[in-house]
Amino acid sequence: DVKVTQSSRYLVKRTGEKVFLECVQDMDHENMFWYRQDPGLGLRLIYFSYDVKMKEKGDIPEGYSVSREKKERFSLILESASTNQTSMYLCASSLWLAGEGETQYFGPGTRLLVL
Amino acid sequence: AQSVTQLDSQVPVFEEAPVELRCNYSSSVSVYLFWYVQYPNQGLQLLLKYLSGSTLVESINGFEAEFNKSQTSFHLRKPSVHISDTAEYFCAVSVNTGNQFYFGTGTSLTVIP
């Protein structure tokens, strides 16, 4: 089974702090993603990566950056946390296969509260 | 462009009653279709997926979904729900051309005792 782990389940930070959210997958997947989930808005893509040291902006990248130094690890960075970044953050990884498309596998999520 | 629409944001249903969660998609290319489930305070788990072949796909916990190409739908059904089915359900599509994945906004299913 694919396993995607996230470094924290719950996190409380203060406005202005730099926040690191870590995600690790153990299935050698090429693709990794960061989403945020808010009530009524579903999942919104922040950043994704198709390879080591490669990153692409998603739909809502403002206020975030990412790092992918190793294939299995994808980090989301909040440079200066703000209260509107209070949310559930979900990491996912995937592999695209011909004839099967792309199935995304998710971590348990990190619920971040910015005070 | 691709999009996924889940027509109901909240669905309350009594225990042991049937339920249908609706999903429609739009795409100009072939797609693969998915349903994910998210239990409270957890990540998303793959419930079932349609790749090709039989248009009816089933999950291990009694859910099924039917791909209807003419209506561009992939509705999720269960003939008799349990309290433990209370969760958020997300429909998603993956585009055949690769590396594009789109989620619906989710349907919150609440099973009432």
Instruction: Answer whether residue B19 shows pLDDT above 60.
Output: yes
Task: Select from B32, B45, B103 the Cβ nearest to the Cβ of A101.
Answer: B32
Across all residues in chain B, what is the average pLDDT?
A: 91
Cβ-Cβ contacts under 8 Å for A51 (sequence gap 6 or more)? A30, A68, A71
Q: Angle A63-A69-A74 (CA atoms, 0-180°, nearest 5)? A: 50
Q: Pick the residue of B51, B99, B102, B107 with the most A CBs within 10 A to test the interface with A by mutation.
A: B99
- Rounded distance, CA A19 to CA A64, Å? 10
Instruction: Answer whether residue A2 shows pLDDT above 70.
Output: no
**Shortest Cα distance from A4 to chain B (angstroms)?**
10
Selected residue with higher pLDDT from A64 and A39 = A64
Residue B104, token pair as written in the block: 């619906």
- Rounded distance, CA B49 to CA B69, Å? 15
Across all residues in chain A, what is the average pLDDT?
A: 92
Whether B2 contacts B100, CB under 8 Å: yes
User: pLDDT band at B3, cuts 50/70/90?
Assistant: confident
Going by the DSSP 8-state scheme, the letter that residue A60 receives in this structure is -
Task: Output the CA–CA distances (angstroms, integers) from residue A40 to A105, B6, B75, B105, in the order listed.
Answer: 22, 12, 20, 7
Highest mean pLDDT: which range of A70-84, B48-62, B90-104: A70-84
Residue A113 sits at the chain B interface (C-beta within 8 Å): no
Task: Output the CA–CA distances (angstroms, integers) from residue B79 to A17, A18, B59, B61, B82, in the order listed.
Answer: 49, 48, 13, 11, 10
- Rounded distance, CA A76 to CA B11, Å? 33
Whether A6 contacts A21, CB under 8 Å: yes
**In which element (H, E) is residue A111 found?**
strand A110-114
Amino acid A83: pLDDT: 97
Q: Pick the residue of A106, A111, A112, A113 with the most B CBs within 10 A to test the interface with B by mutation.
A: A106
Selected residue with higher pLDDT from A51 and A114 = A114
Residue B43 sits at the chain A interface (C-beta within 8 Å): yes
